[in-house]
Amino acid sequence: MINELTKHELGLLIETEYDEIAQQYLRYFNISSLSASYLFNGPPGIGKRYLAKLFAKLLVCESYQANCSCQSCLNINNGTHSDILHFDTDSNCDLNDANHRNHNSDGSRSIKICQIKRINRISMLSPTTAKYKIFIVSNINLMTPEAANALLKTLEDAPQSTIFLLIANDINNVLDTVKSRCHIIEIPPLNFQKIQKILSKKFQIDDHVASDFAILSRSRIDSASQLANNQENVDSISKIFSELSQILNAKTIDRINFAENLNSIYRSDPVLFHLILNCWEDWFRWHLYAMNNINIAPSFFNKNSSFSFNNIISNLKNIAYAKNQLAFNVNSLVSLQILLLRMQGSD
């Protein structure tokens, strides 16, 4: 896992790479009537929080430029700026709120009303050193409906010196009434080349290795860094691909056995499980790209030319179907057995 220090360094690198995009958005911050709330929307793991932090710097640092080292910017980098406050699903609650109880047994990862009530209370205070008090709230697509309504009230009531930078992975799960209060900024994922550049710089690895990680991460800078940061991940990825080719040639009984193994991974290590299914999907996608002369595949990928178009599409459909079944809590062992039995080797 990435430790706090490397997370910070990574943030600086992302900041440099995103600076170009940030410049395009600068105009939102130069207008005389600054919006009271902004909503950054984009896929998970692409650096939205860093970008929000960068915008917070633009608002509190007079002479902002990339990698500025004034005291304000340093404090923001260290997470110690008294007027830049971060919130997420695990943030503290307002302990006096009537809705608050011990959430340890909830098991759900959501933003609850008692957490928003605390934000509400703090948002009424004046900034201490900066011109603005800035609230960076991640994962607002994971708010409970009660929390979303409380946030709406907070956005409406907050004083002019308070600015909200809200972050969502999926804007479709954000209440329309909240969206309508925000200036929405769509954040695109960094492209493969930029991720490759960040990884090469940060981990000092060869460009082609960095490019492999960028492709395997599906443009998620967080996953790409985790892959590059740990040799064990690289080993487990090569194991995933060698197992896949074995499965495609395996007999029924071996497939049934593999489904059982996969099911226990699903139960014990969901992150690894999803990595496996994503790698399988990617492997078939790379075949499709190669058929169409699109050169997106890691350096270790060897196209198996005996796969037909229909064969690849049917494998992709079966993986997508299994993922969908699992998302609806269908019996996981049965779903995985069906998937394994349906997976087709070359024609």
d(Cα 287, Cα 308) in Å, to the nearest integer? 9
CA angle, corner 3, sides to 71 and 202, nearest 5?
Answer: 80
Rounded least distance, CB 67 to Zn ion, Å:
9
Residue range at the interface with Zn ion (CB under 5 A); choices 76-84, 86-94, 195-203, 310-318: 86-94
Can you tell me which residue has the tokens 């500025």? 68
CB of residue 102 to Zn ion, shortest distance in Å: 8
Interface with Zn ion (CB under 5 A), residue from 51, 56, 59, 93: 93
Alpha-carbon distances of 321 from 150, 211, 266, 285, 330, rounded to whole Å: 37, 29, 16, 16, 11
Q: With beta carbons less than 8 A apart as the criterion, state whether 152 and 179 touch.
A: no
Nearer to Zn ion, 135 or 307 (CB): 135
| Residues 287, 293: Cα–Cα separation, whole Å | 10
Please tell me the distance from the alpha carbon of residue 242 to that of residue 239, in angstroms, as a whole number: 5
Q: Which stretch binds Zn ion (CB under 5 A): 2-10, 63-71, 119-127, 322-330?
A: 63-71
Residue 66 binds to Zn ion (criterion: CB under 5 A): no
CB within 8 A of 336, min separation 6: which ones? 259, 262, 263, 266, 322
**Measured from the CB atom, is 70 or 244 closer to Zn ion?**
70
Query: By CB under 5 A, is residue 12 in contact with Zn ion?
Result: no
In terms of CB distance, is 49 or 81 closer to Zn ion?
A: 81
Size of the site for Zn ion (CB under 5 A): 7
114 versus 163: smaller Cβ distance to Zn ion: 114
Q: How far is the CB of 179 from Zn ion (least distance, A)?
A: 25
Residue 61 interacts with Zn ion (CB under 5 A): yes or no: yes
CB of 74 to Zn ion, least distance (A): 8
Q: Where does this chain touch Zn ion (CB under 5 A) — which range of 35-43, 54-62, 119-127, 251-259?
A: 54-62
The answer to whether residue 256 forms part of the interface with Zn ion (CB under 5 A) is: no
Kindly state the tokens that stand for 284.
Answer: 């078939």
Distance from C-alpha of 221 to C-alpha of 108, rounded to nearest angstrom: 26
CB of 128 to Zn ion, least distance (A): 17
Instruction: Look at strands 133-137 and 162-168 and give their pairing.
Output: parallel
Q: Judged by CB, which is closer to Zn ion: 73, or 214?
A: 73
Residue 343 CA to residue 249 CA, distance in Å, equals 10
H or E stretch at 215: helix 207-216
Rounded Cα gap, residues 73 and 58, in angstroms: 9
Contacting Zn ion within 104-123 (CB under 5 A): 114
Nearer Cβ to Zn ion (144/233): 144
Nearer to Zn ion, 97 or 212 (CB): 97
Q: How far is the CB of 7 from Zn ion (least distance, A)?
A: 20
Is residue 70 part of the contact set for Zn ion (CB under 5 A)? yes
Q: Show the site string, 145-174: x = touches Zn ion by CB under 5 A, - = not.
A: ------------------------------
d(CA 273, CA 292): 29
- Candidates 99-107, 193-201, 247-255, 265-273; binding stretch for Zn ion (CB under 5 A): 99-107
Alpha helix (H) residue ranges in 145-190 = 145-157, 176-180
What residue ranges bind Zn ion (CB under 5 A)? 61, 68, 70, 73, 93, 100, 114
